[in-house]
Chains A and B, each alone.
Chain A
Amino acid sequence: MSEIVIEEASDRGMIDLKGDPAAPGFRNGVASVLGLDLPLEPRSSAASGETTVLWLSVDQWLITVPYDQAGQLTARLAAALAEHHALVVDLSDARTIFRLRGLGAREVVMKGASADLTHTDYRAGTVRRLSFAELAAMVHVVSDTPEILDLYVFRSVGHYVREFLETAARPEARVVLWGRSE
């Protein structure tokens, strides 16, 4: 079995968007800038090219784009939504993203998480805010095969989460549930 690879995805920029998706023109305004529709289903996401939108709540999304584009895109979104009740903030530096690759990545996250990610609810594309190692965190299932998970935590605790993940992912502590295989 291959090892689980843990990397920091420092090339991702993050834009926090708040607004009312039911307001006329709001979703169109977003789509005109991002080129994709906001996901409205709870715990879902949408992706197109280098842009991914993660559902955070009924009125909040996290848009991830290449880091260099975040500032400009924040300004364009804010301009497109100028007439709307909306708040767009460039939070590219507020979080650290850990990308876990390899079969058993789900189980590594489950060693600190409050949810069972091997459940069928957590297919590729699913976003879940949860408690990880007693910290506020968010998991995005990027791909089922190969297994890729992104774990979002606040920057100030990134060093701690890295240590937790590396401890949990040691080969001698490997857990793979219910004979899952790739």
Chain B
Amino acid sequence: MTSPAPYRLPEAPGIGRLIDRGQPLAFTFDGRRLEGFVGDTLASALLANGERLVGRSFKYHRPRGIVGLGSEEMNALVGIGRGPAHEPNLQATGIELHDGLAAVSQNRWPSLAFDIGQVNDLFSRFIPGGFYYKTFKWPKSFWHHLYEPLIRRAAGLGRAPTGRDPAAYEQIRVDCDVLVVGGGASGLAAAEAAAMAGARVMLAEAEPRLGGVGDLYDGSEDLPALANVMVLTRTTAMAHFHHNYLLLAERLTGDKPRQRLWKLRAKEVILATGAIERPIAFANNDRPGVMLAEAVRGYLARHAVAPGRRGVVFTNNDEAYRTALLIKRAGAGDVTIIDGRADPHGELVDEARRAGIPVMLGHAVSQVETTLGGQAIEAVRVAAYRPGISRPLREQKLPCDYLAVSGGFNPAVHLWCHNGGKLRYDTRIHAFRPDRHHDRLWAVGAANGTFDLQQAIAEGAIAGEQAAARALGRPATASIVMPKAKPRRQGAIEPLWLSPASGHYHDGHKHFVDFQNDVTVADLELAQREGYSSVEHTKRYTTWGMASDQGKTSSIVGLGVLSEATGRPIPEIGTTTFRPPFTPLTFGTIAGALKGPLFLAVRRTPAHDWQVAQGAMWEPVGQWRRAYCYPQPGETKEQAIAREILAVRRAVGLLDASTLGKIEIKGRDAAAFLDRVYTNSFSTLKVGRCRYGLMLNELGFIIDDGVTARLADDHFLMHTTSGGADRVAAWLEEWLQTEWPELQVLVTPVTEQWAQFAVAGPEARAVLEALALTGDSDIDLKPDSFPFMAWRAGRIGGFRVRIFRISFSGELSFEIAVPARDGMKLWQALLDAGKPHGITAYGTEALHVLRAEKGYIVVGDETDGTVTPRDVGLDGLVSKVKRDFIGKRSLDQAFLKAAGRKELVGLMTEDKNEVLPDGAQAVSDAAARPLTPIGHVTSSYLSPTLERSIAMALIENGRSRMGETLSFPLAGGKIVKATIVSPVFYDPQGERQNV
């Protein structure tokens, strides 16, 4: 067993309100076993165990401890979970303790207490703000090979998990009338008021419980159960976008799912995000044991954690006096208040004096003295302070082991600013608060700079009522009014940004502004001296306000420092941009359910399962998976492809062509419409016949091709490329709806309705005849009654089919379409009927070789969006008699007709076994310098039919270079030579498909 936590106070009223001492929990930190209670956060449990050192800083590797209580925590970033379930960069203040929790510190090597990177601190005068822009410039190659890897190792946060995250995540899309962000006192009042007014309300609270920090001030608020309020705890509003679209990340207690992302559209958004206490810049203000005053109070009141044995509260406002009072009341040792104000008048100040707490007015902490390499505080030095003081003359030493600091409070305006909300500087609180917003956004309570509890509650209630009324389109009833009662008398806050040290800023006297990014007062002042007068430039140069922290604690402090350094008032300096997410968000939540098997919706054809069973290799085509080839046992990929090709040439093959796009086009003007979208004529096509068509865009370039069948006088079926199906359907609709509304044409995509299989090869007809014998058949397959480029509808072997006698292989070929649910049955029936004829399933690679042997183009291989019909030798398909078609005018442009364009040719390599790589560049003379490419290979294969390699290429003036030998210089110095030939390598007369 572990020993009792040394800083946990015994049970007492008002102390340790959230922990259940009856339920101990064991956890580990850097492998050490520690104990906490149900109700602890990792931060409170670490503090209870006296674990002050929780991380090393980003740049200087300085020891760092817990500073805050909630989302403002900038130092205590830890990793939790092991292996693939590891998550880095989590705030210890936001991790609920559970049994077996395994947390590790970050950015230290070899260990947290002894860290080599600490030497960065000793050399810090050589790595000031912007050092990487200055130092690592020369020589050029060193950046990549030396500087960057070194910096990456030395600077940084946690480590990435080691494998796939086993947890599940999900997302959900929801609308509401009123979203309240923040379940503190004002947020609860807003949610209740909005719900009472009848709105559909969602309340998001980052903590596991409602109430916010009301318990650390004057009281708390509750929310009655109302059916129209949905409360999400453990839910952080991460981002606000246009038109009140927000992302909320909900942390669930299990891991299936582990987190849920709410994608929410709200008519009205009420921000009750509270305020964030800010530190004060003094020498060594980053030492473990220097905490925010509200955090010290919170750990005491909620978790019974004593901050130390003897403390100092350093403040410029009244609120921190509450911390000293609670320390006193809890008997957690002596405490002294150092107040930078000379003469504060508040009830809390009086109360502290009455309680006998020593108060030093007009003083400031000027230095923190430590031992153990900065890990343990011994004392602070205190000096007389007045605004504008440049250097203290006399200091006195106050022994202590912790420091509670309050430099005032910043309204948490991050969400207000994510999407362009404006801020104004309020000298009453010395902070920026929400001003204007173009969206329907409200800010209430501390988020609006209203720190008095009763005022904040009233403000929330009024906003809730008014927001609900506006969301529901009703006039506001104004039943709630601001309380008349005078708020508690409080002394005014006085700005105190920088408490100067007696020594130099550097050399161990760092005054930190941005703890997470290791930015000091000296860095900000240096940036001013170097001319970075814009606040945004200063931010980028120094990294102040960046990374996961986004300036939560550092923003206003830095502005205060800049103001004093430049003599410009803070509102004139302006603020930097606050960006989402509000706190670090794991990528799993952003991906949601779309990972693993749900990463991508892969489209499957009706014959998919058979192909899986055959062990097909796959090729992605659009979102489809098509069988690339079907290797038999003991067969290589290349052998399989050759076997499939030869089967088609010598006997018969079977191809799953279901992915081809299919679009029905019908109407009085359907033929005229097709005449306009294809280069060739379709009005002349007879019913029952098919024609290949070439489709151009307005620029005259080929965008699609395919065979169209005439189903009836006014009715066509268009086939498109597999990848082009959706694009072409949208293209047709666009022309019909926006350019030619006078045409009576209707278009319906029908791709998914049909399974379609090609039966190709000399035995193709025999296979269909065999199939016809197996059941009802009424289609005459004889060549005279069913010629090439005809189609028939009817029955074959009992299947309701459309058969198209078309060919992409140059062989006798039939494509049979059947309703998709009969697809698998037809596929099997064709295999059975074809078995005696040696039917062989072939994949997309065989399909491509077969078409290349015939010189047929593939849109996307031989074309790249800049290729005209003339370029690929299909000028014959461009009608000379049609009045117009899409692209016609462009084809007449001089440069598309000029000499020197790349033209499609065939290539035969000198060595018949040498297959040119796709995309290889051609030159006339490989010895010339510079090398001048004159074209490139578009398709290249080993043809088993021709027993040699063949390729297609686009070559400048290619058709007039027949017989010329070109060189193809490849990577590694190899040069392949090939002769230009006709792209039709096989059966140039087309006799085989016409039998």
Contacts and interface: CB of A to CB of B under 8 A. Distances in A.
A113 B170 contact: no
Contacts, number: 114
A116 B175 contact: yes
B471 to A, nearest CB: 13
A93 B664 contact: no
B748 interface: yes
Interface stretch (A39-47, A82-90, A139-147): A82-90
Interface string B591-623: 001100110011111100000000000000000
Contacts of B598: 133, 160, 163-164, 167
A178 B170 contact: no
Interface in B161-201: 168, 170-175, 200
A155 B753 CA distance: 8
B766 interface: no
Contacts of A154: 603, 752
Interface in A91-115: 91-95, 107, 110-115
Contacts of A79: none
A172 interface: yes
Interface in A104-156: 107, 110-116, 118-119, 133-135, 154-156
A167 B594 CA distance: 11
A27 interface: no
B172 A160 contact: no
A86 B820 contact: no
Nearest to B746: A87
A177 B868 CA distance: 56
A173 interface: yes
Given A111-B171, A115-B173, A89 B750 contact: yes
Nearest to A96: B752
Contacts of B174: 110, 116, 118, 177
B746 A156 contact: no
A168 interface: yes
Given A87-B664, A110-B174, A92 B748 contact: no
B594 A110 contact: no
Contact of A18 (B172, B601, B748): B748
Contacts of B753: 89-94
B746 A167 contact: no
Contact of B170 (A86, A111, A157, A163): A111
B746 A85 contact: yes
Contacts of B200: 178
A85 B752 CA distance: 24
A85 B744 contact: yes
B605 A168 contact: no
B256 A159 contact: no
Nearest to A136: B726
B341 interface: no
Interface string B219-258: 0000000011010000000000000000000000010110
Given A87-B748, A110-B174, A179-B227, A160 B601 contact: yes
A37 interface: no
B821 interface: yes
B604 A159 contact: yes
B668 interface: yes
Which of A111, A135, A156 has the most B CB atoms < 10 Å from its CB? A156
B603 A164 contact: no
A157 to B, nearest CB: 5
Interface in B561-615: 593-594, 597-598, 601-606
B147 interface: no
Contacts of B170: 111, 167-168, 173
Contact of B748 (A89, A111, A178): A89
Contacts of B754: 93
Contacts of A119: 175
Nearest to A107: B172
Contacts of B260: 175
Contacts of A87: 664, 666-667, 746, 748
Query: What does DSSP make chain A's interface, helix, strand, loop or mixed?
Result: mixed
Contact of B593 (A89, A111, A155, A159): A111
Given A157-B601, A178-B227, A110 B752 contact: no
B933 to A, nearest CB: 40
Contacts of B175: 116, 119
B256 A172 contact: yes
Nearest to B257: A173
A170 B260 CA distance: 14
A173 B170 CA distance: 9
Given A94-B820, A114-B173, A164-B593, A133 B752 contact: no
Interface string B750-790: 11111000000000000000000000000000000000000
A2 to B, nearest CB: 20
A174 B667 CA distance: 49
A160 B602 contact: yes
B230 A178 contact: yes
Interface in B48-80: none
Nearest to B254: A172
Contact of A112 (B168, B227, B593, B751): B593
Given A87-B666, A94-B753, A177-B230, A155 B820 contact: yes
A110 B172 contact: yes
A156 B603 contact: yes
B228 to A, nearest CB: 6
B819 interface: yes
Contacts of B668: 85
A110 B174 CA distance: 7
Which of B606, B744, B819 has the most A CB atoms < 10 Å from its CB? B819
B819 A95 contact: no
A119 B264 CA distance: 13
Contacts of A175: 172, 260
A156 B230 contact: no
6 contacts: A16-B748, A93-B820, A119-B175, A134-B601, A157-B601, A178-B227
Interface of B: 168, 170-175, 200, 227-228, 230, 254, 256-257, 260, 265, 593-594, 597-598, 601-606, 624, 664, 666-668, 744, 746, 748, 750-754, 800, 819-821
Task: Give me the 5 closest cross-chain CB pairs, A-B, nearest first.
Answer: A156-B603, A93-B820, A94-B752, A116-B175, A87-B746
Given A89-B664, A116-B174, 7 more contacts: A18-B748, A19-B746, A85-B668, A133-B594, A156-B752, A163-B597, A177-B230
